[in-house]
Chain A
Amino acid sequence: MNLTLKVWRQKSAKDKGQMVEYKVTEISEHMSFLEMMDVLNEQLVNSGDEPVAFDHDCREGICGMCSMYINGEAHGPDRGVTTCQLHMRMFKDGDTITIEPFRAKAFPVIKDLVVDRMSFERIQQAGGYISVNTSGNTQDANAIPISKQAADEAMDAATCIGCGACVASCKNSSAMLFVGAKVSQYALLPQGQVEAADRVMNMVAQMDAEGFGNCTNTGACEVECPKGISLENIARMNREYLSASLKG
Chain B
Amino acid sequence: MATLDSKIPKGPLKDKWTDYKNHIDLVNPANKRNIDVIVVGTGLAGGSASATLAELGYNVKAFAYQDSPRRAHSIAAQGGINAAKNYQGDGDSFYRLFYDTVKGGDYRSREANVYRLAEVSANIIDQCVAQGVPFARDYGGLLDNRSFGGVLVSRTFYAKGQTGQQLLLGAYSAMNRQIARGKIEMFNRHEMLDVVLVDGKARGIIARNLITGEIERHSAHAVVIASGGYGNVYFLSTNAMGSNATAAWKIHKKGAYFANPCYTQIHPTCIPRSGDYQSKLTLMSESLRNDGRIWVPKNMEDVMAIREGRKKPTDLSEEQRDYYLERRYPAFGNLVPRDVASRAAKERCDAGYGVNKTGEAVYLDFKSAIDRYGKEQAKLKHITNPTAKEVYDFGKAIVEAKYGNLFQMYEKIVDENPYETPMMIYPATHYTMGGVWVDYNLMTTVDGLYCIGEANFSDHGANRLGASALMQGLADGYFVLPYTIGDYLSADIRTGKISTDTKEFEEAEKEVTSRLDFFINNNGEHSVDYYHKKLGKIMWNNVGMARNEKGLKEAMSEIKALREDFWKNVKVPGDQNEMNPELEKAGRVADFLELGELFAKDALIREESCGGHFREESVELDGLQKGEAKRNDKDYAFVSAWEYKGDPADAILHKEELEFNDIELKQRSYK
B91 contacts partner chain A, Cβ-Cβ < 8 Å? no
Report Cα–Cα, A181/B527, bound state, in Å.
42
Contact yes or no, A60 B180, CB < 8 A? no
Report the tally of A-B residue pairs with Cβ distances under 8 A.
208
Bound: A136/B186 CA distance, A: 24
A130 CA / B134 CA spacing, docked (Å): 13
Whether A141 contacts B132 in the complex (CB less than 8 A), given A50-B573, A57-B66, A80-B408, comes out as no
Contact of B173 among A129, A140, A155 (CB under 8 A): A129
With A138-B126, A145-B140 as known contacts, state yes or no: A51 contacts B274, CB within 8 Å.
Answer: no
Q: How many whole Å from A52's CB to the nearest CB in chain B?
A: 9
Q: In this assembly, does A77 line the interface, its C-beta being within 8 Å of a C-beta of chain B?
A: no
**Contact B71–A57 (Cβ < 8 Å):** yes
Q: How far is the CB of B261 from chain A (nearest CB, A)?
A: 24
Q: Would you call A45 and B138 a contact (CB within 8 A)?
A: no
Q: Does B413 contact A (CB under 8 A)?
A: yes
CA distance A159 to B140 in the complex (A): 23
**Which one of A42, A57, A89, A155 lies within 8 Å of B73 (CB-CB)?**
A57
Q: Are A121 and B76 also in contact (CB < 8 A) when A50-B573, A133-B55, A136-B127 are?
A: no
Give the residues in chain A near B128, CB-CB below 8 Å.
141
| A residues contacting the other copy or chain, number (CB 8 A) | 78
Determine whether B412 belongs to the interface, using a CB cutoff of 8 Å to chain A. Answer: yes
- Asked if B160 CB lies within 8 Å of chain A CBs, one says yes
With contact pairs A118-B188, A136-B478 given, residues A142 and B142 touching in the complex (Cβ less than 8 Å): yes
Name B85's closest neighbour in chain A (CB-CB).
Answer: A141
8 Å CB interface, B130-156 against A: 130-132, 134-143
Contact A50-B574, Cβ < 8 Å, known A55-B67, A124-B176: yes
Q: Which residues of B contact A56 (CB under 8 A)?
A: 241
Collect the chain B residues with CB atoms within 8 Å of residue A118's CB.
67, 188
With A38-B277, A63-B75, A154-B134 in contact, is A125–B413 under 8 Å at CB?
A: no
Q: Are A141 and B129 within 8 A (Cβ)? A: yes
Contact of A145 among B141, B179, B240, B478 (CB under 8 A): B141
In the complex, A3 has a CB within 8 A of chain B: no
Task: Give Cα A51–Cα B275 distance, bound, in whole angstroms.
Answer: 22
- Is A134's CB under 8 angstroms from B48's CB? yes
Q: Which residue of A lies closest to B278 (CB)?
A: A35
A45-B527, A57-B73, A114-B579 given as contacts; is B166 within 8 A of A134 (CB)? no
**Chain A residues within 8 Å of B179, by CB:** 121, 125
- In the complex, which residue of chain A has the Cβ closest to the Cβ of B67? A117
Contact of A45 with B573 in the complex, beta carbons under 8 Å: yes
Interface flag for B662 (CB, 8 Å) = no
A131 → B minimal CB distance (Å) = 6
Contact A63 B66 (CB under 8 A): yes
Judge whether B527 and A46 touch: CB under 8 Å.
yes
Q: Given A64-B70, A118-B67, answer yes or no on A155-B166 (Cβ-Cβ < 8 Å).
A: yes
Contact B282 A60 (CB under 8 A): yes
Point out the residues of chain A lying under 8 angstroms from B127, CB to CB: 134, 136, 138
Cβ–Cβ contact B527 & A191, under 8 A: no
Q: Are A146 and B162 in contact (CB under 8 A)?
A: no
Which residues of chain A have a CB within 8 Å of any CB of chain B? 11-12, 28, 30-32, 34-35, 38-39, 42, 44-46, 48-51, 53, 55-65, 78, 80-81, 85, 87, 89, 110-111, 114, 116-118, 120-121, 124-126, 128-136, 138-142, 145-148, 151-152, 154-155, 158-159, 161-162, 185-186, 189, 191-192
B interface with A by C-beta (< 8 Å): 48, 51-52, 55, 66-68, 70-73, 75-76, 85, 87, 120, 123, 125-132, 134-143, 159-160, 162, 165-166, 169, 172-174, 176-177, 179-180, 186, 188, 211, 238, 240-242, 274-275, 277-280, 282-283, 408-409, 412-413, 415, 478-479, 527, 529, 571, 573-574, 578-579, 581-582
